[in-house]
Amino acid sequence: MSRESIKVRRKSELKAASEKHQKALYKELNTSSIRIVEFGKNMAILGGMLYIGYTILDRFLNSQLKTEKKKEEAGKFESFNKIILPLLALALQQGS
């Protein structure tokens, strides 16, 4: 074999190895980015659920404390409104 044919063969082997390595890295990058997006979505959902739960609990306890004080001017649906309003606000936010 001549020196030129060895160089050409070596160059083609290196190019093939480089392409194989690039494809493997591209596949790993795609997999990682998909996982990061899913993690972000799950954290956003979890954060939203915690916020809604905290708001509902806070408003429910607030309405319970007011009813324990025997507040006479309270409306008939005050506790119901305090529970539903955060859910309605979140639904309107998601719709826009």
pLDDT tens figures, 44-54? 899 889 988 88
| Domain of 88, in residue numbers | 3-95
Separation CA 55–CA 42 (nearest Å): 20
pLDDT of residue 81: 72
**How many percent of the chain have pLDDT more than 70?**
82
Tokens representing 76 are 């008939």
pLDDT band at 96 (very low <50, low <70, confident <90, very high): low
Q: Total structural domains in the chain? A: 1
Q: How far apart are the first and last CA of the chain?
A: 71
Tokens representing 36 are 């990061």
Separation CA 95–CA 89 (nearest Å): 10
Which residue bears the tokens 């160059």? 11
Separation CA 1–CA 5 (nearest Å): 7
